[in-house]
Amino acid sequence: MVRAVPGWLHIVGIIFVALTALILLAPLIVVIGVSVSESQFIAFPPNGLSLRWYQEVLSSNAYLNAAWISIQIALLVTLMATAIGGAAAIAIHRRQLPFSDTLATVFLSPLVLPTIIYAIGMLMFWSSVFGPVTPLTLALSHTAIALPYVVRTTLAVLAESDPYLEEAARTMGANRLQRLWFVVVPQCFPGLAAGAFFAFNISFDEAVLSLFLRGPTLTTLPVQIYSQLEFSPDPSVAAVSTIMIALTIVLIFVIDRMLGLTRFASA
């Protein structure tokens, strides 16, 4: 085995990684720092230490309403995207439809098209065909962009599954529904679960569609934060943001348990 890396480069590498990590994490650290500040102005490093801004957030109707709307929409999206995306992935995986490849492309296309382009279309199409935008409109549009993630994670799991299990179930007399429910779906489970958590995360954090489709009674948490930033940023924004970061950390932990983070990252 040859010497892997020259010594000086090793040091450069360490410094490089440290700096990059700092850049990636700096905004998050700052947000957390500001949220525990005592001062009424946004300041980092924080002056003093207090949880008053968390109290403020938890007693603010605007934030609580927005959070509640975000959670409801995200749950609905998780459910729809997982069910619809999982089913589609199974169909694509079996490759029995004449247009399987096209189908795969179709289901991944929301990943490629910039959200803003589609957000305008959604606003214009729905308001001209179905009338005013409702929470369901927003949930459907979030589902469309969450679908590719569910399809991908499920396909990845299916690719490693045993194709003969279903065949075995068939010879043992299981009908279509039974085979699907007791053989195929359990095989998909890790992929479906990971996809579900992604779907939740995407919907809960999504800002572009939510901004275009927002209304006085349809304000999600990211939209609420955005308008606070535009109008009157105070440390309460940091407190809400910190709560969102904490939720993300929990989700990452869960996804790591479900699918293995390193595996997902290099998929």
- Measured from the CB atom, the residue of 50 and 211 that comes closer to another protein is 211
Identify the residue among 50, 52, 56, 83 touching another protein (CB under 8 A). Answer: 83
Residue 174 has φ and ψ, to the nearest 5°, of: -75, 140
Q: Decide if residue 189 touches another protein (CB under 8 A).
A: no
Q: Which two tokens stand for residue 110?
A: 């929301």
Q: Decide if residue 159 touches another protein (CB under 8 A).
A: no
Local structure of residue 48 (DSSP, 8 states)? S
Residue 49 has φ and ψ, to the nearest 5°, of: -135, 125
- Measured from the CB atom, the residue of 135 and 169 that comes closer to another protein is 135
How many whole angstroms separate alpha carbon 190 and alpha carbon 260? 10
Output 107-113 pairs: Cβ under 8 A, ≥24 positions apart.
107/147, 107/148, 107/151, 108/148, 108/151, 108/152, 109/148, 110/144, 110/145, 110/147, 110/148, 111/145, 111/148, 111/149
Identify the residue among 96, 159, 160, 171 touching another protein (CB under 8 A). Answer: 96
- Measured from the CB atom, the residue of 58 and 251 that comes closer to another protein is 251
- Measured from the CB atom, the residue of 58 and 84 that comes closer to another protein is 84
Q: How long is the chain?
A: 267
Provide the minimum distance between the beta carbon of 51 and another protein in the complex, in angstroms, as a whole number: 19
Q: Which stretch binds another protein (CB under 8 A): 29-37, 47-55, 155-163?
A: 29-37
Among the listed residues 217, 223, 229, 231, the one whose alpha carbon sits nearest the alpha carbon of residue 204: 223
Q: Decide if residue 85 touches another protein (CB under 8 A).
A: yes
What residue has token string 């490629």? 112
How many whole angstroms separate alpha carbon 125 and alpha carbon 116? 14
Q: Which two tokens stand for residue 59?
A: 């007693």
- Measured from the CB atom, the residue of 187 and 241 that comes closer to another protein is 241
Q: Decide if residue 174 touches another protein (CB under 8 A).
A: no
- Measured from the CB atom, the residue of 85 and 191 that comes closer to another protein is 85
Q: Decide if residue 9 touches another protein (CB under 8 A).
A: yes
Provide the minimum distance between the beta carbon of 138 and another protein in the complex, in angstroms, as a whole number: 10
Q: Which of residues 195-254 bind another protein (CB under 8 A)?
A: 201, 204-208, 211-212, 215-217, 219, 221-222, 225-233, 237-238, 241, 244-245, 248-249, 251-252
Q: Decide if residue 58 touches another protein (CB under 8 A).
A: no
Q: Which of residues 100-129 bind another protein (CB under 8 A)?
A: 103, 106-107, 109-110, 112-118, 120-128
Residue 218 has φ and ψ, to the nearest 5°, of: -125, 75
